[in-house]
Structure formats: C-alpha cells, structure tokens
Amino acid sequence: MKRRVAALLLSSILFVGFADAGGPRRVTGPASKNPGQPLIWDVSTPIRFTVDGGPLSVDPSGHVVISNSQGVARVQSLFQNWQSVSTASITYSYAGPITAPGLPPDGDVKTIQDFNAVLGTCNSGSQNPVIFDADGSLLRALGLNPLVIGFAGTCKLDPQAGHIVSALVFLNGEFQDGINDPSTSNYELTPDQFDEAITHELGHFSGLDHSQINLDLFQSGMVGNCNVDKLAGLPLMFPVAFCQSRKSAGLPILAPDDIAWISKLYPNSGFSSNYGIISGFIFFSDGITHVQGVNVIARRVDDPSTFTFTGNPGQPITGNNTAGSPYGSRNPALIGYYEIPVTPGNYTVQVENLDAAFTHGSSVGPLDPPAITYGAYEFWHQYESAFDDPSKKDPLRVQAGQKLSNINIILNQTPPRFDQFEDGEVQLEQPKPPFVFPASLEPWILGKAS
Ligand SMILES: [Zn+2]
C-alpha cells in the first residue's frame, strides 16, 4: 500500500470528535422490487457459521501457536462485538467445523483444492465458512499479498429479496506466529490488532463496506502510533490497518461509525430512540446534476455516506443494462443521495473525495477506482451555491427518531456536465491480478510506510 502525504488537508476540521461515514457493501439492483436498499442478512434467526478444523496459527517449524479450540473461541467471541451492539438486531451462532467434498472430517482447510471446495459450498449458499490459514501458505498459493491479514465477503445473494444468503471469512494466522521478518514478508500483529482484523472481516461478513473517516490520519503517513482522539473516530471498517490497536489506546473495539452502521442495517427497537438520520443530495456546480462517489461525513460538533445508485449502469442507449453491475439502483434520482445515522446532537455535514489509493479490495463504495476529478471538499451551510465559501458551515441539530432531509451540498467549480449519465472519462477494463479474486471478497491490508 502506497502512502502519501495529502497535498490538501482539511485544516478547517477543528473538531476531531466523532464522525460518521460508513455504509452497506452492496445495495439492491434492478432484480429487486425495491432497488437501492442495502443487501442484508435475514436476521430473524441467528446467522450460522462454520469454522476451520485446523489451528489458527502455526510457526514456520510447525509448532501450534493458536490451537483450533482457541481459534474457534476467539472467532465466536469476536462475533459478539457486532452482536452486542445495543441498537442492532444481528446475531450469529457457531454451527461446527467446515464440511466440504474432499475435505478431511476434521474440516482442516489447507490446500487450494480445499479452499475451492469450501468456496463452492459458500457459493451454493449451504455454508458460511471461517477459514484459518495457519501459516499464510494458502494466501500465497492464492496469489495474494502477504500483507493481507484476512478477507471476507458475501458468496451468494438473493437479489430479489435483497438478502445475503452466504458469506466467507479468511484469516491469515501468519500474523500471529511470533515472527516479524520483513525479509520473508512474515509480519506480526499484536493479539489485539489481530482481533481487530478479525472483527473487521466479520463486519464485511455482516454486509458492511469500508468507511473512510479521518482520512487525514491515514494520509499523514502515521503508522502504529496514532493520535488517540483521531483513533477514537477512525472506523474499524477503515480500508487499511495502520494504527495501534484501539484496545491498547483504551478505546472500545468498534468506533461510533461502525456501531451506527451495523445499527442502520439491522435496527432493533432501540434504534429510533437512539439515532436520527441526516439525508440529502450532493450536486455539481449547476445545482441540478447529482454527484456520485464522494464521501459524505457528519461530524459531531463538540464532533456516512451510502451509495445507492449503481457504480456501473451498463449500456443505457438501447435501454439494455444487462452488462452493468447487478448492484445498485438504476433510478437516477438516487444518484448522489446519502443517509447518515447519527446519535442525537449537533453536526456539521461535509463532503470529501475518496482516497485514490483505495481500489480493488480496499475500495469504498461502487466506484473503483474512485472518481477523484471533483474538488469535493466542502461543508454544508444554509445558503448553498456553486460560489459559496466551502469552509462555511452551519450546525444541524438532530434528535432521536428525527430525519433531516434535503441537506444538499452544491460543489464549487466542478466541470460542467453534458448530462448526468456522462462518465467523465472512458475507463478501460482494469488489469486483473493473476488470480481472479472474487470482487465481493475484501482483503484487509496492513498499512506500511513506504
Ligand atoms: Zn475490509
């Protein structure tokens, strides 16, 4: 992961506090009766997951560092981080070891053949496996970067119902083998950092996307010793791991953004008495054309964005969009629409570009690579226009159960738009890595200074 110092920092953010910008990983598309909704699990019963039958981590001499029973217990307890969010209704239950054709009865996943067999059961919707790659060899065999701590994603979706049917988690135990030797690309994390990586993957498993908040902290090039106030607001669902563990800084494992978004996707009866919603549209300078692919942040004074429109509508001239992405609404009225769940309080709302480094498995939202041509750095204020002072901001007071609508931001000095379906530039197919990595599986990468 390349690190760079941002040329443009949001110097006007004086409140470090808590901010909110997450979202669902996928939203429903044309097959659904209700396009533009998050794809979520049916949580009327617990989500059943199976776990690898082998150890979670072994060192290069084959000595077990984290046994299978310790690994199973750890995964179970880390699922609790999401399950115990007081305003969310999602629950999980352990359903025993992984089973797949050709796999030994103990369910130990070791080879590419094993992995493919297990992926097959996930793709068919019959199992939600958590795979342990005890020494990182499977990850390397898959052609992935050894900096990948783990990956996760949905396997099978029900696009009509808007439900996730099955999902998979893959954990790289080499980060816990007691050896930190960059010369062999064997890196190490503290147990708390590894727990956070697992919890991050379980967030993807649950349907959450990456969240870009406190981007300036990442862009500052800081590694391992982040400012605690900023770390407090940094989502666990940030695309890259680069700070010390939240626990070591005395912080809860989930940030306010993570808690707000799991609750927005799976609200229980307590959600509306604990959260309000800020919503609106982002416009180009013409004040009419909706902008997609920028990050919208509500920042609490004293301190997310969702992308409901598709990232690829296909080819609309003939009216046939079958070549487009199956995810996201085709309703152009939803372009640039955002909703942010926030706890009661006073907020400012702002937009910023997505970091251009967040591509492929580290992407945020449906646009990969992100659109970075807009100078999208602006706060909302009462008299929005294309000629206003982007640093001028008016606070919004949000109460529990309240929805503030039409908090719309008009970006300044954007290029004129020919029409709202114009793409800005023609994008050739991105080069693919040698292993065709399922787009729905998202690796969490260890951030390193370069
Ligand atoms: Zn991730």
Q: What tokens were used for 381?
A: 């204020």
In the structure, ligand 1 is a single-atom ion and the residues with CB under 5 Å from it are 442, 444
Q: Are 20 and 99 in contact (CB under 8 A)?
A: no
CA distance 269 to 290: 33
* Alpha carbon of 362 to ligand 1 centroid (Å): 6
Amino acid at 142: L
Beta strand 442-446 with 148-158: parallel, antiparallel or unpaired?
antiparallel
**How much distance in Å is there from the Cα of 360 to the middle of ligand 1?**
11
How far apart are alpha carbons 69 and 51 in whole angstroms?
A: 10
At residue 22, does pLDDT exceed 70?
no
403 CA distance to ligand 1 middle (Å): 29
pLDDT at 416 over 80: no
CA distance linking residue 279 with residue 265, whole number of Å: 16
pLDDT for res 145: 85
- Token output for 256: 């306010």
Is 275:343 a contact under the CB 8 Å cutoff? yes
Supply angle C-alpha 181, 186, 187, rounded to 5: 85
Higher pLDDT, 203 or 340: 203
What percentage of the chain reaches a pLDDT higher than 90?
Answer: 39
Residue with the larger pLDDT of the pair 433 and 111 = 111
Residue type, 216: D
140 C-alpha to ligand 1 centroid (Å): 18
| 322 has pLDDT over 60 | no
CA distance 250 to 45: 33
Tens-digit pLDDT profile for residues 398-410 = 888 888 887 887 7
Q: pLDDT grade, residue 321 (50/70/90)?
A: low
pLDDT over threshold 50, residue 146: yes
> How many angstroms separate the alpha carbon of residue 398 from the centre of ligand 1?
30
Q: Over range 272-285, report the average pLDDT.
A: 83
pTM of the model: 0.77
Of the pLDDT bands very low, low, confident and very high (cuts 50, 70, 90), residue 138 is: very high
* Residue extents of the structural domains in the chain: 1-32+210-438, 40-206
User: Alpha-carbon distance 103 to 122, whole Å?
Assistant: 14
Q: How far is it, in rounded angstroms, from Cα 113 to Cα 354?
A: 37
Distance 19 CA to ligand 1 centre (A): 19
3-class secondary structure, 75: helix
Q: Cα(402) to centroid of ligand 1, in Å?
A: 31
H-helix or E-strand spanning residue 281? strand 276-283
